[in-house]
Amino acid sequence: MKKVTIKLGGRNNRLVFGEDVVISHCEIRLDGEDNLIEIGDRARFSSGKIYLRRTCGQHIRIGADTTVEGAYLLVDEAASIDIGDDCMLSTDILIRTGDKHSIIDVASGQRINPSRDVRIADRVWVGRDVQILKGTVLQPETVVGACSLVSRAFDEGHCVVAGVPAKIVKRGIRWDRSLI
């Protein structure tokens, strides 16, 4: 770990690093109760923030062999973030499970914007300057184009999603870390 700030508070929270994890230039904040931040074997996380705050029983998981070059992961309330194995996240990525403030229906007086999980399957490549919002689900072998806003669940993989809001723009693909 190089230039990493870790702030732990609350009760019964856990921060778990797998083997050969590399973390640099990051800030990690974990408070609330019974929460977990888990970073899998051989994962790399640089230039970012991982915040799991004021929650109970939630988690952020980053899978084995995943690389994150610059991201802000933020869990709000009763929701979690799961990033699968062998994913590749570029720079200036925002992943969040909530809106940070309430939106109230005038007629009912009820809150209408609850937090929701974010699920990123194994082998997803997220391009630069992407925002991934609450309720997003990305399937294996998905590529998210640069500058996209992803705010829904996709039920198919082997595709490219891009745009604001993101939609499928290409099907029948897979990606490789090396330039072939």
Best CATH choice for the domain 2-171 from the list 3.30.1300.10, 3.40.640.10, 2.40.160.40, 2.160.10.10: 2.160.10.10
Kindly report which listed range (14-18, 23-27, 75-79) carries the lowest average pLDDT score: 75-79
Q: What is the pLDDT of residues 136-153, one digit of tens each?
A: 999 999 999 999 999 999
Average pLDDT, the chain: 96
CA–chain centroid gap for 76, Å, is 12
CA angle 148-136-66, nearest 5°? 80
Q: Average pLDDT in the 38-61 region?
A: 93
For residue 55, name the pLDDT band (cuts at 50, 70, 90): confident
* 46 pLDDT higher than 80: yes
Distance between CA atoms of residues 129 and 126, nearest Å: 9
Domain spans of the chain, in order of start = 2-171
